[in-house]
Amino acid sequence: MDALINWFTETLPRHLGPSLELELVRYAAGTLGVFFVVWVLLSPWLKSRKIRPPTPRGRQITMELLNSFKSICVYIALDIVVFDIAEIGVFQKYNDVAQYGWLWFWASIPVAIILHDAYFYWMHRAMHHPKLYKIFHLAHHRSHNPTPFTAYSFAAPEAAVQYAFVPLLLLVMPIHSVALLIVLAIMILKNAVGHCGYELFPRGSRRASRLGSVHNRDTSRHAS
């Protein structure tokens, strides 16, 4: 009981602030940044690139923001647990660049992104299984005409599975704290761009990449 009280009075407050700042800043920078650039600044030049012409109504965006808030709460709760476990040396996150050198610092970023792409592909494919779809992925597909805010519009179980990549990554490879922040920023940016509702890449690139075609098929399923 004393250990539990100590965790709530000392450990929880110590991790809550950094976790709250990390998740809110990451979400706001990714979704609001893409929304402002694509939907506000570039929308006059991107009309022909809109995937589904009708603009989403406020009701859908409100739903996405509420779901995103729930997802962020899940991420913050899991952050606190992961930060706590990290203090006892379970994970391979480090803070001294000299420990692995600048070459690995920069190389670890694309390596982590590739690992995340592989994780996302199989996790996402599994969530489309009929026995898992309603529990995990249905909430995400309620955004029939996706917006940047669809990026975090998950049911709580899916949010937890999405987050699971972070502790798994920290178990299998060393990564600097700043490099990890860069990876997390790229992840939300990719997600917001992929759900922005516009085809931003050249048409030929969709046929050139099998992974791209898988992503495009999933984007089209938002209409189902």
Q: pLDDT tens digits, residue range 19-39?
A: 888 899 999 999 999 999 999
Q: How far are the Cα atoms of 104, 172, 183 from residue 110, in angstroms, in the given order?
A: 10, 15, 8
| Residue 13 pLDDT | 65
Mean pLDDT of 45-55: 86
217: pLDDT strictly greater than 50: no
| Residue 221 pLDDT | 54
pLDDT bin (cut points 50, 70, 90) of residue 12 is low
If you average pLDDT over every residue of the chain, what do you get?
A: 86
Asked if residue 211 lies in contact with residue 121, where contact means CB atoms within 8 angstroms, the answer is yes
Mean pLDDT of 105-127: 96
pLDDT tens-digit series, residues 170-190: 999 999 999 999 999 999 999
Angle, to 10 degrees, between the axis of helix 58-86 and the axis of helix 165-172? Answer: 30
169: pLDDT strictly greater than 80: yes
Q: Which of 168, 144, 164, 143 is nearest to 154 (CA)?
A: 143
Quote the percentage of the chain above a pLDDT of 90.
63
Mean pLDDT of 100-117: 97
pLDDT tens-digit series, residues 121-160: 999 999 999 999 999 999 999 998 999 999 999 999 999 9
pLDDT bin (cut points 50, 70, 90) of residue 88 is confident
Mean pLDDT of 94-105: 95
118: pLDDT strictly greater than 90: yes
113: pLDDT strictly greater than 70: yes
First to last CA, the chain: 50
pLDDT bin (cut points 50, 70, 90) of residue 206 is low
| Residue 66 pLDDT | 96
How many Cβ atoms sit within 10 Å of the Cβ of residue 72? 19
For 94, phi then psi, to 5°, come to -135, 165
